[in-house]
Structure 1
Amino acid sequence: MSAEFDCCECGRHIVAIGATAVPTPPLCALCLTCPGWFRHPEVRAAIDPEHDGLEAWERTEPLGGADGRL
């Protein structure tokens, strides 16, 4: 079993292996434990250098391009 969703804060596509449902709210573990991590250039460079630093609602196109996958 798995659940797939896009994090409502950072916009990353998440596949939660072993999950029975999408969490509410649909936050990835990183955003849950360290909110706003993608706003800090040093943290973003270490964790996800390809992240654009925008929240999901600030984008005109999904993270990773038109298909929304990284």
Structure 2
Amino acid sequence: SAAAAHLHLCRTVARRAERLTVDLSTVEAVNPAAVKYLNRLSDWFFVAARICNDDGRADVLWVPGASR
């Protein structure tokens, strides 16, 4: 759904922010709770997108190594 696609986009932004925060932590002090929060935020966006798609339609599940 369009809503799930937007939630996945938010997830990618949260993941990018997490990576940038980890990179920043090599240069200056960063609160470890901030990194944990960004990680949990991206998890939440993922779950929210899955729930958003779960309105009677099947979600495409990722299977490791299936496309190889």
**TM more than 0.5:** no
Query: Whose Rg is larger?
Result: 2
Question: Which protein is richer in strand relative to its size?
Answer: 1
Q: TM-score range by the shorter chain?
A: under 0.3
> Scaled by the length of structure 2, what TM-score is found?
0.26
